Amino acid sequence: MLRHKYIRETYVVDQVQSVVIGAGVVGLAVGRALAQSGREVIVLEGADAIGTGTSSRNSEVIHAGIYYPTGSLKARLCVKGKEQLYAFCAEKGVDVRRCGKLIVATSAEQVAQLEHIQKRPLPMVCMTCSYSAASRPGRLNPSWNAMQPFSPSTGIVDSHGLMLALQGDMENAGGALALLSPVASAQVQSDGILIRTADGTELLAQEVVNAAGLFAPSVASKIQGLDACHVPQAFYAKGNYFTLSGRAPFSHLIYPVPEAAGLGVHLTLDLGDRPNLAPTCSG
């Protein structure tokens, strides 16, 4: 790692092929893939541990891609990624459970919306999501009179276990993780991208992947020489999670019909069967 030295004017700068900014689930997965493809890679993380951002503050649901438009990249990646994720977790011993998901309609309008979702010509989705006889109204819970499509391949995953497994694979392939190394600025040059961390360390990289999550727009705006069209705009929303005391009365995840701005407040389970209601979101 960092074998090459590069003389820059009067001082020496370390060089590396690939830098990934951020050690959330995305940065670690990218770092793993780059290292396994033979690249020299270093993941720079600002915090003192991996996965302290959004990757540890989510519902830990493995989605089945049922809402995405037919044939869209999102639908295809979600369906393919889901199977790859289950296989990866099985291989690495990461806790995971295919618990399935119910979508509950509570009005005639929502029933129509669900029927529309189910009738979509979604070949990828049809392979993985179907109405289950067991999910017909009254079967799972006699008191429910709502329509309940069942997505059996939806599941939950131990997000920390997943990130540790990604980090382990990356390091086994020669990749490195540098904690407490927040990227402060960067500059596009003819010979690469010069990265500066907050303590003044400089690294010249041939390629940089910005996986800084919520801070990705801010990191992008600090890269001198990057065209403004590549600096995304940040849109923030605040959400709260509520944990119900006791064990969940359900063994499936339970979702409302999706809203325009998101999936709606849903009931998820963690791997200890603790039920959470979330996220409530406001812009």
Ligand X SMILES: Cc1cc2nc3c(=O)[nH]c(=O)nc-3n(C[C@H](O)[C@H](O)[C@H](O)COP(=O)(O)OP(=O)(O)OC[C@H]3O[C@@H](n4cnc5c(N)ncnc54)[C@H](O)[C@@H]3O)c2cc1C
**Closest approach of Cβ 235 to ligand X, in Å?**
12
**Closest approach of Cβ 208 to ligand X, in Å?**
11
Our CB check for ligand X shows the closer of 144 and 182 to be 182
CB under 6 A: which stretch of 4-12, 44-52, 94-102, 130-138 binds ligand X? 44-52
Q: Which residues contact 100 (CB under 8 A, 6 or more apart)?
A: 132, 150, 151, 152, 153, 154, 155, 252, 253
State the residue number with the nearest CB to ligand X: 24
**Closest approach of Cβ 197 to ligand X, in Å?**
8
Return the residues of window 161-220 that contact ligand X according to CB under 6 A.
Answer: 182-183, 211-215, 219
Query: Is 46 one of the binding residues for ligand X (CB under 6 A)?
Result: yes
Q: Check: CB of residue 38 under 8 Å from CB of residue 168.
A: no
Q: Which residues contact 252 (CB under 8 A, 6 or more apart)?
A: 99, 100, 101, 102, 140, 150
Query: Is 17 one of the binding residues for ligand X (CB under 6 A)?
Result: no
Q: In a 3-state reduction of DSSP, which class is residue 223?
A: strand
CB under 6 A: which stretch of 22-30, 33-41, 100-108, 253-261 binds ligand X? 22-30
**Closest approach of Cβ 218 to ligand X, in Å?**
7
How many residues in the shown chain lie near ligand X by CB under 6 A?
30
Dist CA 92 CA 214 (whole Å): 28
Our CB check for ligand X shows the closer of 111 and 256 to be 256
Angle at 145 between CA 142 and CA 146, to 5 degrees: 125
Our CB check for ligand X shows the closer of 59 and 151 to be 59
Q: Check: CB of residue 34 under 8 Å from CB of residue 175.
A: yes
Written as six digits, the tokens of 263 are 């999936």
Query: Is 61 one of the binding residues for ligand X (CB under 6 A)?
Result: yes
Beta strands in 38-149 (DSSP E): 41-44, 61-62, 96-97, 101-104
Residues in contact with ligand X by CB under 6 A are 21-27, 44-47, 52-55, 58-61, 63, 182-183, 211-215, 219, 239, 279
